Amino acid sequence: MNQHYSTPGQAPYMPPTTYSPAPQPQAGRKKALLIGCAYPGTSQALNGCINDVQCIEYCLKHRFGFVQPGSIVVLRDDQRSKDHVSTRANIVRGIQWLMQDQRPGDSLFFHFSGHGSQQADTTGDELDGQDETILPTDFNSAGVIVDDELNAMMVRPLAPGVTLHALIDACHSGTAMDLPYRAKQGSDGRFAWKLKTRIVKGTSGGTAFQFGACKDSQVAADTNSMSGSAYTGAATYSFIDAVERYGTQQTYASLLQHMMETLRKQAGGGGGLSMPALPGGLGSMAGKLAGALGGMGGTTGAAVGLVSSFLLGPGALGGQVPVICCDKQVDLYAARLAI
């Protein structure tokens, strides 16, 4: 599928050369768009979004095989290249890059770490009357990106045989891509799909999964309590920790359950968040990332310092519950991660 998408009032998108991936195998290609919005110098500043993006990039490369040159595009608000700053226009362009030239067997990954919000639903598709939004670095001047837009740009064009995974680490992000089905945990502890929208907005044949940091009605933690030192989004941390502990071949139900357990343990039943060190595999991954960063021209000490300042700003997990949504009712207990 080789299309150019455009938003109202804009010319069809042509990716800058800096986004153009190197040639990849004809089948089973991998592409990822990673976005970190820290809003530096503003009253909305966050501490860990950049660190979230670095951790997810490492995880994708070293755990899921996103190793082809040019297969990952990173947008951050600390970038010097104007094409790679996490502005609204660049996020839209990055999504268009991600969705171009889809082929059966492709695996696409979208990650956003930053602020999320809600606004009144104007299309009538939301059961709660609220649209979910993500906030680009320049949202004060350029505006937010609404869940209807994310659905139109990433879900509806998803071609047969292509799988999209999105991890949105932001407040109110449960249904941030307007996928129709959300997994709800029953009193027996098992997950079952629940229709969460009045209008089913599916794909063009592909399969789309979205991990949200919390339910639409909740806020997401930005905390250093999970590592004991470094700042990160709680959902990004719990996602990576689940992968490190239980592997890349676990089921979707397993991943979601482990994310929930991690957040629940950190919340400590309302007793606050306290953890002296990165647990298990995540600690070793952070160490490897520190070494990798140290090899990029900085000292090892500086790299460890960067890893040790990963997370976002302070925030209580409270009742934060991560969620998974999908365009179809896949068997969460049989289907294994296809990232």
Do 29 and 104 meet the contact criterion of CB atoms below 8 Å apart?
no
In 3D space, the residue among 334, 331, 320 whose CA is nearest the CA of residue 183 turns out to be 331
Q: Is 59 labeled as catalytic in the residue annotation?
A: no
Tokens of 56: 């997810």
Query: CA angle at residue 54 from 52 to 55, to 5 degrees?
Result: 65
CA 45 to chain centre: 19
Q: Among 37, 59, 171, 325, which one carries the catalytic annotation?
A: 171
**DSSP annotation of 13:** P
In 3D space, the residue among 47, 4, 99, 10 whose CA is nearest the CA of residue 231 turns out to be 47
Which residues sit opposite 73 in a β-bridge? 33
Look at the chain and count its residues.
339
Q: What is the dihedral of CA 256, 162, 156, 333, to 10 degrees?
A: -30
Which residues sit opposite 108 in a β-bridge? 31, 164
Q: Is 171 labeled as catalytic in the residue annotation?
A: yes
In 3D space, the residue among 12, 207, 9 whose CA is nearest the CA of residue 96 turns out to be 12
- Provide CB contacts within 8 A for 336, sequence distance 6+: 249, 250, 251, 252
Percent helix, strand and coil across the chain, each rounded to 5?
30, 20, 50
In sign, the C-alpha dihedral spanning 293, 285, 62, 91 is negative
Alpha carbons 215 and 174: distance in angstroms, whole number: 4
Q: Among 84, 111, 115, 258, which one carries the catalytic annotation?
A: 115
Tokens of 296: 């990029």
Which residues sit opposite 194 in a β-bridge? 182
Q: Is 142 exposed, middle or buried (0-12, 13-18, 19+ CB in 10 A)?
A: middle
The residues annotated with a catalytic role in the active site are 115, 171
